[in-house]
Chains A and B, each alone.
Chain A
Amino acid sequence: MILRRLLFVIAMLAAGAGAALAQTPEQRGQQIAARADAVATGFGDLQVSGEMTLRTPTGATSSRRFAMKTLELGGGRETRSLLVFDWPGDIRGTALLTHAFDNRQDSQWLYLPSVGRVKKITGGGRSGSFVGSEFAYEDMVEQDVASFSHLWLRDEPCPNGAGRCHLLQRTPRYSSGYAQQLVWIDTAALRYQAVAYFNRRGQRSKTLTMSGYRQYGGRYWRPARMTMVNHLTGKSTILEWSGYRFNTGLRPGDFTREAMAR
């Protein structure tokens, strides 16, 4: 947390010192990403509901609903989240617990109400299709700045029409389902407006677009809608967030294996 605050201050100072200071594109990219991260985090805890609408190119649709709780720990070096499914009915009550760390691999557990047991998941879980949608788990949650190396490319109009954006290229430092991503962060409030995902052969496989940003608690901007389009299959998924609640008093005890069954 302190580090992030510090970075934020440095960033502000740098901005204040004026653009005259020469920066490499790497430094600039890193700086923008760090500032975007700084304004998005530090919220303590958060509860929100999500509804996914899956859509095929021919127009068939299907939905998934879940509630999500997130808690920041250790000054932002650790994030815990619990996702509990509500729909489809046959996975109601199924809960996915994630412990995400800055500097080591995440841990994930799934609680299966049908057998009343918790299973630890080992595998490529964060990058694969999430419950059949076009989202991977890693696409839905806040991305840790340290997981990528950033490169500022240019400033240009945001692809979703949300004003002006910094365009960054980011390359995963650890294993990921993608080889590279392009991210558009608006210049006005440093919000992620769009992400383009590229696979190992350099082909754009998916595009994520945010919309309906609202500010909560006078500070935190969150999108109401995230639209993921898969360019390989023509399928898409719309993820709509509702009922954002910040600082609800969640504690680490709400994010344990025992808590999942509740």
Chain B
Amino acid sequence: MVQPAMPPLPDSGAWSDRLARLLVRHHLLALLLGGLLVLVSVLGVLRVGYTADNRVYFGERNADYQAFERLGDIYALSETVLFAFVGDTDLCTPPVLEGLRDFTAEAWLLPDALRVDSIANFQHSESRGDEIIVESLIPEDGALSAAQAQRIKRIAETSDELLNRLISPGCRALGVSVNLVPEGNATVSRTEVARIARSLQAEWQDRLPGLRIHVSGTVIGDAAISAAAERDTRLLVPAGFACVSVLMALGLGTFSGWLGTTLVTLGGALATLGFAGWLGIALIPATAVSPLAVMVLVSASCVHVVLGWTRRIAEGQDRTAATVAAVEENLSAITVTNLTTAIGFLCLNFSESPPLAQMGTIVSLGIVVGWLLTVLALPAMLLRLPDLRFRPLRLSPAALERLAGFALNQRGILTVFALLFLVSLAGLAQIRFNDSPLKYFDESFAFRTDSDAIEAALTGIESVQFSLDSGAEGSVFAPAFLNRVDRFATWMRQQDDVVFVGSLSDIVKRLNHTLGDGGPGGHDIAPTQAANAQAMMLYELSLPAGLDMNQMLNIDRTQTRVVVLLRDVDGQAIVDFADTAEAWLRANEPAIATQAVGFGVAFSKLTQRNNRAMVYGMLTVLVLVSGLMILTLRDLRLGLVSLVPNVLPAIFGFGLWGWFVGEVNLGSTVVTTMTFGIVVDDTVHILTHYRRRRRHGLEREEALRQTFRTVGAAVMVSSVAIFSGFAVMTQSGFALNQHMGGLTALVIVLALLTDLLLLPAVLRRTNQ
């Protein structure tokens, strides 16, 4: 797609002039070609699908995610649905507990449910004489008495296996957790499970009006992902399109130019969606906004051509001559700018996260289509459609010249930018990573509000897990091993963000307590492996179908899974906890040291991995684009000068973001690479025109004034259009898009300011 040869150079006038004339003479044929191009790519739109799967963010080779998958294989873990009953008073009353029991029974009917846990079916163990009674904490049928309800509450509240997971202190909230069968064995789609879970929630909300029922879990989160993607493509992309279109109309001041631009950008956007379909890329929120990005970027090229055209018509040229001149004048510049933008996006392929790489690929393809359409279809529109001039909303050429003069002569500018640079560097230090699929959604999603309510009232949503290996001991029931596990669990319970720790050691202690008839000294880990194993065997033989120990023990009973629930944590806190816990194990219990595993852990680390990967992406873009600039300008010094307005905006942007927002996520990590190709555009336009005038023997100041007069309007109009398009993305309910849009918009504005104010000041001080 990218032209292998060197791009056309300015001042090689002869051939760009010939090409422009050719395009104008055969403009209908060119239009037809453009139309065919759109048609072919757009057919792919039919194949576009959305995916409801959080796992797509991970590449095949992501080690953290592989560890998470391995854990799932060993303990038959998969996705979850978590229901919570939340009330303002003590919920441990006979009617609510009976409701919880019936709800628990109904939750088993969710398609593909593997296991359901609540305090209702918690297998409480009790010793009566020589009889061991293991039974559901809430009797399976019959009405409850107030005394029974109190007993149930007392037992549940004091159980380390239940408190802060399935019951809150004071019984203000109760949970029902559903584990699903592994994806490969599923009989219905997870989206369907989510839908049925929601209808179960609604039905029971009517039956139990005195409390609130919330639903969360990974299944609900996945459903929210595809809902967000659909919402963004259905609302945000059209809104962005409307916004850019209105701005174009205001800025261009010509009907034909406006309609031409609109059609070309629409073609580019549709082609982007089409490529997603052809390449078999399932859209997620992060990729769903790709057409919007293409739309605004393609519009920038059109603006330059259209404004060049209107300027010439205003100067009295006829339509054909004006079209030829406008195409000729911009052909090389828009080729270079589209090429650099495409390279910027293509380098998103360095990303560790496939959706971001995919976005890079389809956007760069869309840009290439947009560029071809600008060249092929726009001239026909300018020639054939009614011009219909109106007064545009933009700076007049005279005002632009005054701006150039100001930038050249105002000595304070360098100082101001130097200060801004320092402030930005300090701002970079304020940046904190926050990646959590849960926190990606804003409050407009029920998934987010439900999850927040559950975290506030009942438990933590983020889980971190450790698969502890008994190693030399050879069995999880070895007392030395169980004591290690117990010490680790005890340590974790003391950590700030931890609300719950589920550990085998607690169950073994409880069983020994039961076996020892509840007497003193019984509440302990037995001194022999046989005693612990046999206590567990007694318990296992008593468990009903579906409530076995297989999600905590591997089949040969040499490994056990410890689950930790963290409350209200951001991505950084998850990684910090994982690191601290791993370090504690290495230092204090090296025999069972292992890796902290979890979806949240893998996701949070993904951003860090992605950041490292994107450094290479950034360097590649920097080298390629700067090389291209130097070749285009055929001027090493000017090429080096161009680095200033190209690199600084990203530093300013992230610096200010650090001060005002602070949080960045996976979406932000690609902004630098992505925006580099975009911000370069204005620099290319300004510097090519400037250099052309300098070649014609103009003084620096005069050359710059004329450059501003010629391209200033186009640079401003296109920057405003790009800014507004990305600003629309901030209205997404999904943080990846909010941040990507917000940061990019910020960088674009800062790039415009840098180009208009700092670049002249730098050029003035450069010896040539």
**CB interface residues, B 505-537, toward A, < 8 Å:** 515, 526, 528-535, 537
- Which of the candidate stretches B39-47, B317-325, B544-552 sits at the interface with the other chain? B544-552
Is B383's CB within 8 Å of the partner chain A? no
B24-32, B107-115, B723-731, B745-753 - the one binding chain A: B107-115
How close is B377's CB to chain A, nearest CB, in angstroms? 54
CA distance A123 to B542 in the complex (A): 5
Number of interface residues of A (CB under 8 A): 48
Within 8 A of A (CB), among B92-111: 108-111
Q: Which of A132, A178, A199 has a CB less than 8 Å from the CB of B557?
A: A132
Chain B nearest CB, measured from A50 CB (Å)? 16
> Is B477 in contact with chain A by the CB < 8 A criterion?
yes
Q: Is the CB of A129 within 8 A of B543?
A: yes
From A91, A117, A231, A233, B76 is in contact (CB under 8 Å) with A233
Return B268 CB to nearest CB of chain A, in Å. Answer: 46
Contact B538–A110 (Cβ < 8 Å):
yes
Which chain A residue shows the least CB distance to B133?
A122
List residues of chain A with CB within 8 A of the CB of B548: 128-129, 132
Q: Determine whether A56 belongs to the interface, using a CB cutoff of 8 Å to chain B.
A: yes
> What A residues does B528 contact at CB under 8 A?
114
Question: Which of A12-20, A41-49, A58-66 is the interface stretch?
Answer: A58-66
A-facing residues in B549-564 (Cβ within 8 Å): 549-550, 553-557
Is the pair B533, A125 in contact by a Cβ cutoff of 8 Å? Answer: no
Does A203 sit within 8 A of B, measured CB to CB? yes
Give every chain A residue within 8 A of B542 (Cβ-Cβ).
121-125, 128
Q: Which of A192-234 contact B (CB under 8 A)?
A: 199-201, 203, 231-234
Q: Which of A112, A123, A199 contacts B543 (CB 8 A)?
A: A123
Smallest CB–CB gap between A228 and chain B, Å? 13
Q: Say yes or no: B131 contacts A122, CB within 8 Å.
A: yes
* CB <8 Å contact, A122 and B531: no
**Chain A residues closer than 8 Å to B541, beta-carbon distance:** 96, 108, 110, 121, 123, 125, 128, 130-131, 137
B444 surroundings in chain A (CB, below 8 A): none
Q: Which residues of A contact B181 (CB under 8 A)?
A: 232-233
The distance in angstroms between the C-alpha atoms of A202 and B526, with both chains bound, is: 42
| Neighbour of B537 across the interface among A110, A117, A118, CB < 8 A | A110
CA–CA, A131 to B534, complex, Å?
A: 11
Q: Say yes or no: is B74 at the interface (Cβ < 8 Å to chain A).
A: yes
Q: How many residues of B contact A (CB 8 A)?
A: 52
CB pair B534–A56 under 8 Å, yes or no, is no
Contacts of A57 in B (CB 8 A): 73, 182
Over the window 475-498 of chain B, the binary record of Cβ atoms lying under 8 Å from chain A Cβ atoms (1 yes, 0 no) is 101000000000000000000000
Task: Please encode chain A, from 237 to 249, with 1 for each CB lying within 8 Å of some chain B CB and 0 for all others.
Answer: 0000000000000
Residue of B nearest to A124 (CB): B544
Q: Once the chains bind, are B123 and A131 in contact (CB under 8 Å)? A: no
Q: What distance in Å separates the Cβ of B557 from its nearest Cβ neighbour in chain A?
A: 7
Output the least CB separation between B426 and chain A (Å).
Answer: 50
**Cα A203 to Cα B193 with chains together (Å):** 14
Q: Tell me whether A124 and B545 are in contact (CB under 8 A).
A: yes
Least Cβ distance of A158 to chain B in Å?
25
Residue from the list B134, B530, B543, B550 in contact with A114, Cβ < 8 A = B530
Q: Which residue of B lies closest to A58 (CB)?
A: B73
A233 adjacent to B182 (CB under 8 Å): yes
Measured CB to CB, the closest approach of chain A to B115, in angstroms, equals 9
Which residues of the partner chain B approach A115 to less than 8 Å between Cβ atoms? 515, 531, 534
Beta-carbon contacts under 8 Å, B103-142 to A: 108-114, 123, 130-135
Contact between chains at B555 and A54 (CB < 8 Å): yes
Give B317 Cβ to nearest chain A Cβ, in Å.
74
Q: Which residues of B contact A232 (CB under 8 A)?
A: 112, 114, 181, 185
- Determine whether the beta carbon of B540 is less than 8 Å from that of A128: yes
Contact pick for A112, options B108, B184, B538, CB 8 Å: B538
- Shortest distance from the beta carbon of A60 to any chain B beta carbon, whole Å: 6
Q: Say yes or no: is B768 at the interface (Cβ < 8 Å to chain A).
A: no
Assess whether B108 is in contact with A200, with CB atoms less than 8 Å apart. Answer: yes
Bound CA span A130–B557, Å: 14
Q: Which of A90, A129, A177, A201 meets B540, CB within 8 Å?
A: A129
B109:A200 contact, CB within 8 angstroms:
yes
Considering only CB atoms, which chain B residue lies closest to A137 in the complex? B541
Residue of B nearest to A110 (CB): B538
Which residues from chain A contact B556 at a C-beta distance below 8 Å? 54, 60-62, 88
Is B187 at the interface (CB under 8 A from chain A)? Answer: yes
B515 touching A129, Cβ below 8 Å:
no
B128 — nearest CB in chain A belongs to which residue? A122
Known pairs A110-B537, A132-B550; A201 contacts B108 (CB<8 A) = yes
Closest partner residue, chain B, to A232 (CB atom):
B181
The answer to whether A114 and B109 touch across the interface, beta carbons within 8 angstroms, is: no
Q: In the complex, how many angstroms separate the beta carbon of B593 from the nearest chain A beta carbon? A: 22
B132 surroundings in chain A (CB, below 8 A): 119-122
Chain B, 316-343, contact with A by CB distance < 8 Å: what is the 0/1 string? 0000000000000000000000000000
A201 touches B526 (CB 8 A): no
Can you give 23 contacting A-B residue pairs, CB < 8 Å? A56-B74, A58-B73, A88-B475, A90-B475, A90-B477, A94-B537, A108-B541, A110-B537, A114-B526, A114-B534, A115-B534, A117-B130, A119-B131, A120-B132, A122-B131, A128-B544, A128-B547, A132-B550, A201-B108, A201-B113, A203-B112, A232-B185, A235-B555
